[in-house]
Amino acid sequence: MSHTHVEKSEGTPKRKSRVSRRNFLYTTAAGAAALALPGCRKSEPPVLSALAGDFDPLRSYPYRGWEDFYRKIWTWDKVVRSTHSANCTGSCSWKVYVRNGVMVREEQASDYPRISKDLPDYNPRGCQKGGCFVEYVYSPQRLRYPLIRTGARGEGKWRRASWDEALTLIAEKLLDNVYNYGPDTNTFFSVIPAMSPVSFCGGSRLAHYLGGVMLSFYDWYCDLPPGEPLTWGVQTEACECADWFNAKYIVLWGSNISQTRIPDAHFAFEARYNGAKIVAISPDFNSSCMHADLYWQINPGTDAALAMGVAKILMDENLMDVPYVKEQTDLPLLVVTGTRRFLRESDLKAGGKDDVFFVWDTKKSQPAATPGSMGSAEKTIRWNGVDPALTGSFRVMLADGNAAEVTTVFELLRSSLAAYPLEKVAQLTGLPAHEIQTFAREMGTRKPAMIIHGAGTNHWFHNDLTNRAMILLVALTGNVGKNGGGFNHYVGQERIWPEHGFFELAFPEGRKKQRFQNTTLWSYVHSASKDPHQYNGKPIEWYIQESVKNGWMPLWPAGGRKPRAFIVWRANYLNQAKGSEILETSLWRDLDLIVDINFRMDTTALYSDVVLPASSYYEKVDLNSTDCHSYIHTFGKALDPLFESKTDWDIFQALAQKISEVARRKGLQPFRDEKFEWSRDFTRLADDWTGKGSIVTDEQAADFILSHSKETQGMTYRNLQAQPKRFVATDEEAWNSDIEEGIAYTPFKHQVDKKRPWRTLTGRQQFYIDHPWYLELDEALPAYKEPIPEKFPLYWNTPHGRWSIHSTWRDHRAMLRLQRGMPIVYMHPDDARKRGLRDNDWVRIFNDIGQCVCRLQILPGEKPGRVTMYHGWEKFLGFQQGGWQSLTYIKIKPTQLIGKYGHVNFRLNYWGPTGNNRDIKVEVEKARVKA
């Protein structure tokens, strides 16, 4: 039709005094035929000149109904402030608009108080996912009623159930397990308390009173950087993102902040206006790399080699902060050359302590005890008149009368760094030698310097060694514990700021009376997972047995029994599990009851037996905080829970009531839990769960957390609902810096400024771990070890992406429209050419573990030798076969199984084997898929 119109117009161009909106749109829509339009020939005046003068395209437009409809979106009855909890680390403040009982849209609230006029502020915060959550609230995948499975697991056959029926079924099974198989056969899995602690505590309180097992999440998802507990004795501590602006040198190392820290990436890029230089290190040229001053396309899995090479240059060229190194690190500590163990007080005198260590005092030429170690009476790390030697070998007289040679950790490190000459590091990493040298020199001289670290490097098997090598760089240069400096790791909202109140609410009788379990170990042992590799000639099973036998790692249920019930809330265990098909056909199959509490039908829900509908983020009362900023704020109820959904808090309260009711009906006698010497009277469980009626509502629970934490003194749910508030203080038992007025939070000022001991065995940033397994496996010091060998040619890379937060929003209509709308794998053109593959081909990705079939996208920014699929795709979202976790499997690192070593002990989400997934390799071939 437009073509006809154009033909008619040709040859008789008419100047109109006014262009109607219809004609204007007509002209625009006919863009493809533009060359035939009036005004598009050299001989004719440009058509846009006709728009001058009295021009109102709306005057003659007849169809105005859609405009009214659109305008109504911008009217509302009420506005409620809320946020999202998908473990995005954003913790952004949003306004939700409601009209006639319907949520119509959200908008960034921009209400964070500013820390200082010298820092960019946090407003407005948000991302594109948060901007369309309201559609999720009413989407087809929203769970509306309790469901009980009628077909096979995963088949999608359900019947609607009443709350009473569903809760009775669950309560009876949980009690049956306690009395017949043991309370440790009931397992509970939920993630990230910081993103909605009240919702987390609802379930953890129930697990606590039932004697059930609480699984970890941070290590299982491999977000825990194990180098931090090893070196610093902390789970993870990072500066808030405003502190990035204070840096003069920022290294984006395995962290793609443009995609995964959308609300905060600006702080790093604005730091360039403050004199910062940005270096991006990543195998692919991702969307953060384009903002960098220097981009390095490093070979996958070689980051520790680079860090060790740079550490060597820092030492060789004396680019270190020597006073800092002597005071803040274990590098001056003495090690007995023969045993490779630290020199301890127990070596020097009978009855001496095992946790008091020594340096060589150059002033007195004799050993001097280091203040601030775990066994030291002195609670400072300040050297009083002692000048510790960094280099040299010395002789000491041992308690048994023999002399022994000792040297410093610094000397041992220096000799181990000899294995990383510049040319070798350049060859391993694929980076230019002269640029590595420049980088080292800048790292040593531009202060403060920080590493922003993420999953890209942390998801590898040797993540602990890589972490430790990177921390070494910022420690040698004196950057840890200073604003704008340090090693700052962000993969998840792993830690909750008001920690004390949270733990009191989550585990009311204390954490010592709770069964905790590392999920990586649990998933491996209770499934058919099998790591084929040997470690020092021994299978991983040997290390697991030793660890459990020594009491280093717990393993529940104890004594070879199987878990029987699995309750999941605020998480998507099955979709995110390494080797998901292996687990599905073993651990999952063996479970008698799987319950999923969720607001949408995700993979875990689909493969469950009972699904309970939870309220969405905008229908609940809760709290929210993140490592990325120093504020706390709330979830507000824009509407009461929709359909038949309930908040997580109310669901677990209803379940507690139902358990009490069933226990009374069955006349159950109290269960004697010998482990804790606890007589559990389940007829009173509902009363216990509500704190004898003192914490009944979710608002009371939120207020309990706030009032029992130093960070949130004076705050209530109600007054936080108006606006986010900055924390007022930090609990010194939990945190390593103060909250300071006008200054961005950064950790470890207590150690650097106040000279308090680090939370490690030696009281220092500890780079030397002299545990027997570390010595045996040659990991006492940071080192580079090659990725676990796999026989296939292409690394399988599954990073966090732009269009989802893990699996949440993966199935969201608006997000799917911003991409190809189904799982795709990215491949470098050279790799595609070698395999005869073309863009958008169906491909089969496979290895010895499994396979998946999806579409291919050719991407020049990808690294040859690697393929990438952004993670989180639900199994039902367009794979022709398998899923992104079909190719992975659980590989437990032996050294991460140790315990009872000073500061290295199992603690939930602090220390335990990580579920790494980057050392996996695959092959890709064209797949035959029927259209």
Report 795-854 residues binding ligand SF4 (CB under 6 A).
805
CB of 121 to ligand SF4, least distance (A): 15
Pairing of strands 147-149, 158-160: antiparallel
Closer Cβ to ligand SF4, 244 or 295, answer by number: 244
Q: How far apart are CA 918 and CA 462, in angstroms?
A: 10
3-state helix, strand, coil in the chain (%, to 5): 30, 15, 50
Q: How many CB atoms lie within 10 A of CB 908?
A: 20
Closer Cβ to ligand SF4, 92 or 470, answer by number: 92
- Is residue 448 within 8 Å of residue 479, measured between CB atoms? yes
Residue 526 binds ligand SF4 (CB under 6 A): no
CB of 712 to ligand SF4, least distance (A): 19
Applying CB under 6 A, which part among 81-89, 305-313, 484-492, 518-526 lies near ligand SF4?
81-89
Residue 88 binds ligand SF4 (CB under 6 A): yes
Which parts of 354-421 fold into alpha helices (H)? 409-417
Applying CB under 6 A, which part among 85-93, 179-187, 438-446, 643-651 lies near ligand SF4?
85-93
Closer Cβ to ligand SF4, 600 or 866, answer by number: 600
CB of 126 to ligand SF4, least distance (A): 4
- Find the distance separating the first CA and the last CA of the chain, reported in whole Å: 33
CB of 757 to ligand SF4, least distance (A): 36
What is the token pair recorded at 614?
């939870």
Q: How far apart are CA 438 and CA 435, in angstroms?
A: 5
Applying CB under 6 A, which part among 13-21, 82-90, 172-180, 656-664 lies near ligand SF4?
82-90
CB of 393 to ligand SF4, least distance (A): 53
3-state secondary structure of 723: coil
Q: Which helix (H) or strand (E) holds 633?
A: strand 631-635
Closer Cβ to ligand SF4, 263 or 763, answer by number: 263
Closer Cβ to ligand SF4, 194 or 369, answer by number: 194
Applying CB under 6 A, which part among 56-64, 79-87, 344-352, 424-432 lies near ligand SF4?
79-87
What is the token pair recorded at 266?
């600006």
User: What is the pattern of x (binds ligand SF4, CB under 6 A) and - over residues 567-596?
Assistant: ------------------------------
Q: How far apart are CA 121 and CA 700, in angstroms?
A: 31
3-state secondary structure of 843: strand
CB of 257 to ligand SF4, least distance (A): 12
Closer Cβ to ligand SF4, 126 or 203, answer by number: 126
Applying CB under 6 A, which part among 119-127, 202-210, 314-322, 401-409 lies near ligand SF4?
119-127
Closer Cβ to ligand SF4, 111 or 303, answer by number: 111
- Is residue 758 within 8 Å of residue 749, measured between CB atoms? no
Pairing of strands 842-846, 851-858: antiparallel
Q: How far is CA 257 from CA 292, 452, 495, in A?
A: 12, 9, 19
Residues in the interface with ligand SF4 (CB under 6 A) total 15
Applying CB under 6 A, which part among 34-42, 87-95, 251-259, 840-848 lies near ligand SF4?
87-95
Applying CB under 6 A, which part among 123-131, 156-164, 232-240, 721-729 lies near ligand SF4?
123-131
CB of 108 to ligand SF4, least distance (A): 8
Closer Cβ to ligand SF4, 324 or 490, answer by number: 490
Residue 83 binds ligand SF4 (CB under 6 A): yes
CB of 794 to ligand SF4, least distance (A): 31
Q: How far apart are CA 556 and CA 182, in angstroms?
A: 10
The interaxial angle of helices 433-445 and 303-316, nearest 10 deg, is 60
If you search the block for the tokens 């780079």, which residue do you land on? 767
Q: What angle do CA 70, 96, 204 make, to 5 degrees?
A: 145
Q: Name every residue whose Cβ is closer than 8 Å to that of residue 513 and which is 6 or more positions away in sequence.
A: 208, 507, 676, 678
Residue 203 binds ligand SF4 (CB under 6 A): no
Applying CB under 6 A, which part among 89-97, 428-436, 848-856, 885-893 lies near ligand SF4?
89-97
Closer Cβ to ligand SF4, 469 or 628, answer by number: 628
Per-residue burial over 294-326, b if 16 or more Cβ lie within 10 Å, else e, is ebbbbbbbbbbbbbbbbbbbbbeeebbbeebbb
Q: What angle do CA 310, 314, 315 make, to 5 degrees?
A: 120
Closer Cβ to ligand SF4, 478 or 724, answer by number: 724
Q: How many CB atoms lie within 10 A of CB 665?
A: 12
Q: How far apart are CA 136 and CA 598, in angstroms?
A: 12
User: What is the pattern of x (binds ligand SF4, CB under 6 A) and - over residues 240-279?
Assistant: ----------------------xx----------------
Residue 492 binds ligand SF4 (CB under 6 A): no
Applying CB under 6 A, which part among 125-133, 280-288, 406-414, 539-547 lies near ligand SF4?
125-133
What is the token pair recorded at 243?
């502190």
Closer Cβ to ligand SF4, 128 or 362, answer by number: 128
CB of 546 to ligand SF4, least distance (A): 42
Per-residue burial over 400-425, b if 16 or more Cβ lie within 10 Å, else e, is eeeebebbbbbbbbbebbeebebeeb
Residue 90 binds ligand SF4 (CB under 6 A): yes
Closer Cβ to ligand SF4, 89 or 514, answer by number: 89
Applying CB under 6 A, which part among 88-96, 308-316, 364-372, 745-753 lies near ligand SF4?
88-96
3-state secondary structure of 459: coil
Closer Cβ to ligand SF4, 529 or 572, answer by number: 572
If you search the block for the tokens 């003495």, which residue do you land on? 334
Applying CB under 6 A, which part among 78-86, 175-183, 347-355, 713-721 lies near ligand SF4?
78-86
The interaxial angle of helices 409-417 and 303-316, nearest 10 deg, is 120
Residue 84 binds ligand SF4 (CB under 6 A): yes
Instruction: Give the residue from 676, 90, 767 showing the smallest Cα distance to 487.
Output: 767
Q: Which one among 92, 335, 506, 628 touches ligand SF4, defined by CB under 6 A?
A: 92
Closer Cβ to ligand SF4, 84 or 750, answer by number: 84
Q: How far apart are CA 873 and CA 416, in angstroms?
A: 42
Applying CB under 6 A, which part among 27-35, 80-88, 907-915, 919-927 lies near ligand SF4?
80-88
Report 126-155 residues binding ligand SF4 (CB under 6 A).
126-127, 129-130
Instruction: Give the residue from 851, 858, 853, 864 showing the smallest Cα distance to 836.
Output: 858
Which parts of 631-782 fold into alpha helices (H)? 648-666, 685-689, 698-707, 717-722, 749-752, 772-776
CB of 81 to ligand SF4, least distance (A): 12
Closer Cβ to ligand SF4, 90 or 388, answer by number: 90
Sheet of strand 147-149: strand arrangement: 158-160, 147-149, 610-613, 593-598, 565-569, 186-189, 213-215, 515-517
Closer Cβ to ligand SF4, 314 or 614, answer by number: 614
CB of 196 to ligand SF4, least distance (A): 11
Residue 508 binds ligand SF4 (CB under 6 A): no
Instruction: Give the residue from 261, 217, 805, 263 showing the smallest Cα distance to 488.
Output: 261
Applying CB under 6 A, which part among 86-94, 466-474, 482-490, 906-914 lies near ligand SF4?
86-94
Closer Cβ to ligand SF4, 129 or 891, answer by number: 129
Residues binding ligand SF4 (CB under 6 A):
83-84, 86, 88, 90-92, 125-127, 129-130, 262-263, 805
